[in-house]
Amino acid sequence: MKKKSILLAAPILGAGMIALTAAPAMAHDVTGSYWSDLGEINSSGATGEAWIDVDGDMATVTINASGLAAEFDGAAYPHVQHIHIGAQGVCPSDEADTNGDGIISTTEGGPSYGDIGTTLSVGDTDKSPAAGLDLAVAPSGDTISYEETFEMNHETRDALAAGTAVVVVHGLDPATQPEGATEPSDLVPELPLAATSPALCGALAMAPAGGVDTGVTAGSNGVELGAVAAGGALVVMLSAGVYMVRRRTATDS
Ligand SMILES: [Cu+2]
């Protein structure tokens, strides 16, 4: 017995030392569940919800949304989506439209929700801010069923803990927007302003203990898990669709 306890003690001590060495001074454990009701921006007519489960430095992000712009240039409309961080941790109000063109651009929303902390790209692709405007890795179409598990950078995890992380889904139907929507985008001048402006926004907060839906039973939880799995498959299909469109375009030209 004595020998066994010594053997057990050694690895535990070792793990503790690694944790102390690896943890930066300001880092804290933000393991937990975060949730947001996504609300429309720019009268997009879209609705949605976001869940983020953080476990150590890994995170599972689920976004379900509907009512988004469906098509752009004859193809499924790409909706870049991010976790914005580093500002007030809120969604912009109408007063954020400082140039008065009737559209809250991504830049005009910046003082409310900050810069991109994480890009919610599809598949095994770059989740960093650098990939933020890559339309090829964005979910597309009027409905988003997104679920990804990936290593989340500490800036975004710290923002979640601080209550300053905000989910933003971009891309408006220019037909539903004021005239200025066809002006060059503040982010990508080759695209119209509508293409990059926010359509959905939600500030992330700690999910209530026991889940958001207090009425769920064990049975309906099982259904929810099945729906999430189906959502993952749908994301793969959407992703494949984007590549097919791109390949066809490349072949045509
Ligand atoms: Cu964004």
Residue 210 is predicted with a pLDDT of 61
Residue 78 CA to ligand 1 centre (angstroms): 13
Dist. CA 168 → ligand 1 center (Å): 5
Looking at residue 175, what is its pLDDT? 87
Q: Which residue is listed with tokens 């409310």?
A: 112
The SS3 of residue 237 is: helix
pLDDT at 211: 60
Would the pLDDT of 21 be above 60? no
Q: Are 79 and 194 in contact (CB under 8 A)?
A: no
Whether this prediction's pTM lies above 0.85 is answered by no
Domains in the chain: ranges and CATH: 2-251 (2.60.40.200)
Q: How far apart are CA 48 and CA 39, in angstroms?
A: 7
Residue 71 C-alpha to ligand 1 middle, in angstroms? 19
16 residue type, one letter: G
**CB-based burial, 60-91: b 16+ in 10 Å, e otherwise:** bbbbbbeebbeebeebbbbbbbbbbbbbebbb
Question: Does the pLDDT of residue 15 top 90, yes or no?
Answer: no
Model pLDDT for residues 89-145, shown as the tens digit of each residue: 999 999 999 999 999 999 999 999 999 999 999 999 999 999 999 999 999 999 999
pLDDT in tens, 44-84: 999 999 999 999 999 999 999 999 999 977 899 999 999 99
Tell whether the model's pLDDT for residue 206 goes beyond 50: yes
Is residue 185 a contact partner of residue 107, using CB atoms and an 8 Å limit?
no
Q: Residue 49 C-alpha to ligand 1 middle, in angstroms?
A: 16
Query: Under 8 Å CB-to-CB from 185, ≥6 apart: which residues?
Result: 105, 191, 192, 193, 195, 196, 197
Q: What distance in angstroms lies between residue 81's CA and the mean position of ligand 1's atoms?
A: 5
> Across all residues in the chain, what is the average pLDDT?
80
